[in-house]
Structure 1
Amino acid sequence: MTKRKGYRDWRWLVLWWHHFFLLWNTIDGQTRYSIPEELKQGSVVGNLAKDLGLGLSEIFDRKLRVASEAGKQYFSVDAGKGELVVNDRIDREALCGQSASCVLPLQVVLEKPLNLHRIEVEIKDINDNSPSFHTKEMSLKIAESAAVGTRFSLESAEDSDVGSNSVKSYTLTKNDCFTLKMKEVEEGKTVPELVLEKPLDRERKAVHRLLLTALDGGNPVMSGTSQITITVLDVNDNFPVFDKNTYKVFLQENTAKDSFIIKITATDADEGPNGEVEFSFGSRTPASILSVFEINPLTGEIHLKGDLDYESATSYKIEVTAKDKGVPEMESHCRLQIDVTDVNDNTPEIVLTSEPQPVREDAQSGTVVALLNARDADSGNNSKVTLQLRRGSPFTLKPSFSNNYALVTSGALDRESFSEYHIEITATDSGSPPLSSKKTIPVTITDVNDNPPVFTQPSYNVYLKENGVPGSILFSVSASDLDFGDNAKVSYSILDSKVQDVSVSSYVYINSENGSIYSMHSFDYEKLKVFQIQVQAKDQGSPSLSSNATVHVFILDQNDNAPAVIYPSSAALGSVSHQRMPRSAKAGHLVTKVTAVDADSGHNAWISYKLAEATDASLFTVNLYTGEVRTKRAVSEQDDSSQRLLIEIRDDGEPVQSSTVTVSILLEDGLHEPILDLRQKVSEPSKKNGRITLYLILSLASVSVLSLLTFLVLAVKCIRNSRSSGSCCMRRSDCDDYKNPNRNLQIQLNTDGPIKYVEVLGGDMLSQSQSFRSCMSPMSEYSDFTLIKPSSTTDFKEVISVLDASLPDSTWTFESQQADPFEGTCVFKNTPFSLDGAAEYCAPMKCNSVQRDLLPPPCSLSGDDVLTGI
């Protein structure tokens, strides 16, 4: 029973595969091997590597493997020799049943790159099965009235082998009444029949026992037997007669259970019980048919009992028996053929022939990702399958052969946008209505270093107080990389550049892992106000990618410099300054002027003057802003001739820095103005030089008059151009020159006729240096307008030496302090005007603290004593 069932189960599948591979051969031309069944495990089928043109090394490198479409893995590959060997016992009858051709299709899959080969292994039959009868004992009841020549159908033997190894002949034991004849039925098949040669006589012999032997055509010959027992009955000499010898019915496989199929009719000419007919399926009907169909024994109606499945069985051939109730019983046989019509009841199936491989994001279009196969168990149009991908996916299906497809790339890939695709493939058959199924294939996209690191912003501004602790952290930059793994690991470095002709690496260093920037030493605002750091972020990809960012470091001023006295110059050298004053001086008489500068900036550089100690505090006063030392009252005869003043100079920083200067004043009788002293000094040498002295006095008087005229002309010109110039000494060209920030700080003493002035030329904007002029008349002890902005880069000793060498102490004044470009004090006609961060400034100062990056227009004077910015 087991083999017969296997034969039925496999027969139609083998036929389908047979037609499938016949079509395949016309398309692809596969490699084909032939082997007999029942070979031992390890038997060599053929040299697969040689036949496919592969080297032995390729078997390992490309991971050659063999897959069977029959379900069970009957073959494997000897990787060392490249031979296809038998992996398991092969029973041809179990695989192909009675099919004349038995071919096992195999798929040979190669990877890197993916490739698919089809081979066939033909399984040849050997005579390993003996003929067998369904029943070992057959019983026949024959009426004694049976006519000579009457034939009785016998059970035919079955042999699982095919061809010459199948059943070829039958023999019957020798007897007097019966002979054996062969009857040809459909499809060239023959069945044995028992022929009555002589009339039967029940009284002489009621039972005949014969041995039927079936022989196959194998070598050696194999046989099977069945015992035939013949019972001779009394007269019931009419058989039931069917209206047809063969009935044929078509049923759809989705026919409902209990459906009526057909009615079989048969009549018997006898009367009474001998003419009553009962119907039944033949005694040799297999259980697989009995479970699906049933017959009414009285009416002959056949109904559907079970489920039909076209994919399991496409046709049923049933033997129907009609027996009467006579004694003995008489029976007849007919054949019922039920053909099953296919219905589209199987959804298509998508099978991965090769697992999907990871794809680089720079893979070219057409790169193979996976191999797959589309199947449908139905037939005809119901088995025609089409595959479709969801739109928008950068993949497509490329058909190869016999419903095999390659999943390939069709567009650009970007792992940063999609690191993994879940490709949904829909398989739809051509049935009516069509059925479909879906399969999702995951495809991983591997990273390629195609994204440089990106800083959080292209440039950074860092504000750092001066005099910081070396090794402290200044700032941390951060860059991110959209890539993955090593391609996204970012390291930081500082590109080499120069800061004041010194490598920037001497100032700072950076942690390559986290981007933290540390100072190498303490910074001094007076030496360095701003510098730039070029930071590079580089990933660890191959090749590596990088990007740069600029870090602007602004040094913030701290009050770390005390005011430095630049006049009197002797005080700057650490000694006491000696001044002379006539006793005839009135109240408000200018004794001297103390001038100091502070190297700091902003409030830290605002300077104020204070009289700390005095021999007679009621006699002298010190201007808080200008440092002018004047008499409070007229000098009396009772005042000491030697006065000593201690003047304290303080800045406005936190904490306050201060310095002092000591001025010794000698009160003398008959002391005149400095210009008279100068004349006296010039006339002292000797009487012999009197004429020369007179010339010098006349020349000096002429120069003084000319200087006064020049000054008046300049004053008128300044008033006319008050709205377009910052001071009386500033020309439009000077203001225009300021717009060029790339200038080095210079301090120079210039002479324009009798007018002498100090010109300070500033550097670039980032250094916050200034460009301005201080105007002085050598003939006047009062400067109409003076503005000074010290710079940290200025060597004040040079200023002192220049001033000392150019002007007498009593003929120039160095007014007011402004150390911050946004804050300070302007002095016009000895009247101070405060400037804060929200005010307008004198040129070349900037106009407000918000727009620091804009060059200001020049300032001018409006009216007589109002300072405004334009």
Structure 2
Amino acid sequence: MWAAWRRWGRRERALLWCVLVAAWEAAWGQLRYSLPEEMPKGSFVGDVAKDLGLDLPALRHRGVRIVDRGRTQYFALHGKTGHLVTAERIDREQLCRLVEKCVLRCEVIVEGEMQVYGIEVEITDINDNAPSFKEIELEERMSETTAPGSRFPLAEALDPDAGSNSVRRYELSGDEHFSLAVQAGPGGEQRPELVLAKALDREEAAFHELVLRASDGGEPSRTGTARIRVAVLDANDNAPVFSQAEYALRVPEDVPVGSVLVTLTATDADEGMNGHVKYSLKKAVGHGTGRLSSWTPRRERSRCCGAWTSKKATPTNWKCRHGTDRDSGANGEVRCSIAERLPFRLEKTFEDYYRVVTAEELDREKVSEYNVTVRAADGGSPSLWSSAVLALRVLDVNDNAPVFAEARYSARLPENNAAGALVLTVRAADADWGQNARVRYRLSEGRVRGAPLSSYVSVQAETGALYALRSFDYEEVREVGLWVRAEDGGAPALSSNVSVRLVIVDENDNAPQVLYPPPAPAPGAGWAGVELAPRSAEPGALVAKVVAVDADAGQNAWLSYELAKATEPGLFRVGLHSGEVRTARFPLARDAARQSLVVVVKDHGRPALSATATLTVVLAESVAELLSELGSAAAAPGEPAGSLTRWLVVAVAAVSCLFLAFLLLLLALRLRRWRRSQLLAAGSGALRGVPASHFVGIDGVRAFLHSYSHEVSLTADSRKSQLRLSGGSCCDTLPARPPPAEPAPLLGEDPAGARRADPAAAPSLDVIFAEDW
């Protein structure tokens, strides 16, 4: 081994030591950062250059690069700053779905120095997933004999997020018969269970609609819902009930053997085999030769004293009792009749046999039972007669559609309601009987904002209770119109519809939004604006106007304005409803040139929400005041004061130089003309009588300086300042009156020379400077 080591050259041994040192630094030079998931591409992760002590100018020359261990490159190194940034958007749930702590690893390789540094980036979870159920429609089947307190496991909600952003609680709504219990699993997970709180009765309600809601612990919390339909299975808990507690019969002594005396009817509220009724005779008593005949349990038309009929009844056979009149001839002839006021009549079929037929259509909803008295009389004089009563019950057919209790329904639902909240209950009644009168409710198809109506509301099929399946937002949906259909249990089924108008009531959940002044560009600076006000402004002068809107409606959108804070509390006032900022008094010399106003905008909701707007009002009457104020504003903390001050000094110096040069030129021209006039005047008296006002002296220059106008404007929105100096009214101060009589031109002088040298023709001087603050 040592021999092999000696055979290596110095270069190979140095390279080996470098590799060993790089491996040791890679093992101990580990960097760790933390980054929330779903950050956009290019987001800052960490300052690698600073943490590793790398020289920024040498990064590009040393060949520094990032190597990810996976197939996808998630990170990149910014060459100019040495910052580690994201190269792709990172989804924690996609990378580490089953791992509690998600860590991505990469290496920084400095090729010039043969060094490798390891980097670990922990991807933290954000609440970007809502809980969801594997099936949003669940069905449970329970017997009506199930004991209260029984528990039934429910499907758990799944949330890909971790920690507090995962599922934290369950809620159940929709029916008083059930409650919710949540059990903690061995791993800390929550397992919902459906608990029967009240005994079930299938005859009262065959189905129960419930809404199970799961919420996570994020801020804000996200929820997911599932609908549970509990079907109640029938149990034989109802005994048959006869239509009458006691049947009383009048049976003649000569009734034929085998005649049907009465038809008994019993019903059972259970369904299926539990609702089938069988009849049996418990006790029979006979006297002499008479005996009680057998009878049939079927609902069929009888030929004696009792019968069933339907609304579209066919004739019912009935035989008058003969042989009871032992007379002969006309005295033995028997004729049967019934009262004319009943909707029946008798038809003779054969010898002494008659049948009872309907004389008009029957309506069970008006009269459900008839007692028909049949009178049998002979032809003797005086006539002898006897009577018997025929009991008829009208069977029901499905000829009545359900009728709603109201022509239309409307309800008001506050926005931001909880999912599963009861909205209202619609009720419909059916005049039919039994199964034909059993009403079920369902929603007609419709859409709300492009989504199915069934995703917004649901109706309980048995009770007609209307539930909201999601939370409504008044700013998105203000009214929902829908139709509820009621169907009976007949064959074929009859139905009717009713319109339901759901009005979403606004709540004060939106704060006022200030439109003017616009928001300040600096983060967290609130609202800011700059307005100018002259120091000579009178009380009541308009300075600015705060404009705000509110997305709510009604009194929740009524806005009022008030001045919350001001540099000089008594200098300005704000209109309560207009938002206009006006002067409350004359500005004083002691008032600061820069006034800061904070205006609070409140709505009239309960509780009231508010927003603030910040205005900066500059009191300025001269260039010097404004420049001084600009300089002080430029020197505010966090702003590049040196740059603005430098440009202001340069601009003022340039303006001063140009103005001085202009004055010197003007003075030189005037002196030249004056000298020529003096020379000519010495030789001749031609200039005598010329007004002295035609010559400009020191007084004219002073007047020019005094009348030099200025305009200054400051715009805070663009963060630029602009100074404009113009000649304006300078020419108005120079003497320009023509002489009473125009003198002859001077020797060697252009007659138009005076006009060219006239200060009124001097061009205006504009100096504009602008710079970003």
TM-score (norm 2): 0.41
What is the TM-score with the length of structure 1 in the denominator?
Answer: 0.37
More strand by share: 1
